[in-house]
Homo-oligomer: A and B are copies of this chain.
Amino acid sequence: MIVGVDIGGTTTKIGVVNDGRVTATKRIPTLGDDALGTEPGSAFADAITQTIRSMDASPLNAIGIGVPNGNPFTGSIDRAPNLPWKSDIPLARMLKDRMGVQCALGNDANAAALGEWKYGAGRGTNDLLVVTLGTGLGSGFIIDGRLLLGPHGNAGELGHTIAVMDGRMCTCGRRGCLEAYVSIRGIRQTYLELADSSELLQQEGVKPIADAAQNGDDAAVQAFRDTARWLATALANAVAFSVPERIVLFGGIARNGDVLMNPLCRYFKEALFYIYEGKVELMLSALPEDDAGILGAAALVDP
């Protein structure tokens, strides 16, 4: 049995994985309230430990942890802007101390890539790209049967490649990052620039825009088309780098179906350099949403 720990900005999902299937799941808040004098992250490590002990996970072989800004080489969460800690948290070591089993930690986008590769739509490939579309844009590459980490553990990050020179301001302080266009925030911004009214933006997320697009709303249709075009160009450029056999799209935005996928497939074909024609499949994740992060985290063990 492996436990997968999928850490998000507010909620952490903990799941027991047996033979590639999630057999039990619990959720706890991602919390940073450490008692005075204790090591930063202690309260959270304690909460994870208690939760795992309350689940049917024995014999437990290992724990895999997927987290934004997870550093696979140190096993630490490096100061992540959307997480509660202001210092690096050596969570792999802290859980190993508490649970007495091997703990592997990695960033969430790489976890998603490994999850798709081992258990999802990427099975059977040797070269794979998984792009996670959500609040941000994450990505992970499998190259010749190995997860691409780079010398510092942070390679394969498409979200902050520059898609449009002198483009939109990004949260990272630069202009034109792919994530400023292809993400929940990006699509909402694109819609705002195209629409006469911001009514659809009163709710969070992109579902209202996707629904409107499905009903033929011009600005909404165009917002998804523009998003598809930026993403298609970035994917075609990524193909020129590692030539994945398959690209798997994962996350909330990807689940908006035809309004994104139809123009995406068309633009991707147009943007692809001819020597790569017919060599790359583009498809949606096949993993159940609730399980994907847990399976990905579990996949970090023995990647």
Residues of chain B within 8 A (CB-CB) of A164 are 165
* In the assembled complex, A161 has its CB within 8 A of some CB on chain B: yes
A83 to B219, CA, bound (A): 49
- A156 to chain B: which residues have CB within 8 Å? 240-242
Residues of B within 8 A of A279 (CB): 151-152
Copies per complex of this chain: 2
User: Measured between alpha carbons, how far is A167 from B245 in the docked complex, in Å?
Assistant: 28
Interface status of A36 (Cβ within 8 A of chain B) = no
Is the CB–CB distance between B243 and A174 below 8 Å?
no
Stretch of A13-21, A196-204, A250-258, A267-275 with 4 or more beta carbons under 8 angstroms from chain B: A267-275
Tell whether, in the assembled complex, residue A174 and residue B271 are in contact, meaning their CB atoms are under 8 Å apart.
yes
How many residues on chain A are close to B (CB under 8 Å)?
Answer: 39
Bound-complex Cα distance A300 to B165 (A): 36
Chain A 250-303 residues near chain B, CB threshold 8 A:
270-271, 273-276, 279
Q: Are A160 and B273 in contact (CB under 8 A)?
A: yes
- Point out the residues of chain B lying under 8 angstroms from A238, CB to CB: 241
Option from B150, B152, B243, B273 in Cβ contact (under 8 Å) with A172: B273
Task: List chain B residues, Cβ under 8 A from A270.
Answer: 174
Neighbour of A157 across the interface among B126, B141, B240, CB < 8 A: B240
Judge if A116 is at the interface, Cβ distance under 8 Å: no
Q: Indicate which residue in B154, B165, B240 contacts A275 across the interface (CB closer than 8 Å).
A: B154
Beta-carbon contact of B143 and A273 below 8 Å: no
A177 to B279, alpha carbons, bound, how many Å? 20
Contact between chains at A271 and B162 (CB < 8 Å): yes
Whole-angstrom CA separation of A155 from B173 in the bound complex: 31
A-B contact pairs, 13 of them (CB 8 A): A127-B151, A143-B143, A150-B243, A154-B243, A156-B241, A156-B242, A157-B273, A161-B241, A161-B273, A162-B233, A162-B236, A162-B237, A174-B273
Residues of A whose CB lies within 8 Å of any CB of B are 126-127, 141, 143, 148, 150-152, 154-158, 160-162, 164-165, 172-174, 229-230, 233, 236-238, 240-243, 245, 270-271, 273-276, 279
